[in-house]
């Protein structure tokens, strides 16, 4: 399961941007800079906001070679852009699969608290690209490790 997008209300967006500008000692932060900083797509909506969208492809590992899927972001993008409902593993096997989308609500855990960052190295791949969404919510940008972020509810993907 990997986070792919943050959905913020205009108020939260303004708050996040001003906090980030302060942290970086910068005058203002563009939408693109924020997205780059979080390494996620950032959307602004009026309803159903302050969520992180997480996506998961199942089955994983590949039923043919039993390898875990790699390059999950790319694999998910490919799955979404192609309507065949086939997952392609890194060995090139194609098999029928499903994309699950979860929504995790953010901000309720870390209201105003200064972020502590206890995890600096990914326990899975030893990468150092750990992204924090809250004091106890983090994920690795290099593999599919996360801090056990529990989705609050799951919405089946519908054909938009």
Binding site for Zn ion (CB under 5 A): 62, 64-65, 89, 91, 93, 122, 124-125, 127, 140, 142-143, 145
Q: Please, which residue, 34 or 88, has the CB nearer to Zn ion?
A: 88
- Residue 92 neighbours by CB under 8 Å, 6+ apart: none
CB of 160 to Zn ion, least distance (A): 29
> In which element (H, E) is residue 81 found?
helix 72-81
Q: Please, which residue, 39 or 65, has the CB nearer to Zn ion?
A: 65
CB of 146 to Zn ion, least distance (A): 9
Spatial distance between the Cα atoms of 129 and 19, rounded to a whole number of angstroms: 21
CB of 74 to Zn ion, least distance (A): 15
At 125 the three-state DSSP class reads: coil
CA dihedral over 103, 116, 24, 127, signed as positive or negative:
negative
Q: Please, which residue, 36 or 128, has the CB nearer to Zn ion?
A: 128
């Amino acid at each position: 399961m990997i986070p792919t997008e943050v959905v913020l209300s205009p108020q939260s967006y303004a708050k996040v941007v001003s906090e980030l500008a302060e942290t970086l000692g910068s005058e203002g932060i563009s939408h693109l800079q924020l997205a780059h900083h979080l390494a996620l797509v950032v959307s602004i909506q009026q309803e159903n906001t302050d969520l992180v969208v997480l996506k998961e492809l199942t089955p994983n590992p590949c039923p043919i070679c039993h390898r875990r899927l790699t390059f999950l972001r790319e694999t998910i993008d490919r799955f979404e852009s192609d309507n065949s409902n086939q997952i392609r593993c890194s060995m090139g096997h194609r098999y029928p699969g499903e994309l699950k989308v979860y929504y995790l609500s953010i901000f309720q855990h870390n209201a105003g608290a200064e972020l502590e960052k206890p995890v600096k190295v990914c326990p899975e791949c030893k990468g150092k690209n750990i992204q924090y969404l809250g004091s106890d919510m983090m994920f690795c940008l290099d593999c599919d490790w996360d801090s056990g972020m529990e989705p609050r509810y799951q919405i089946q993907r519908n054909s938009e």
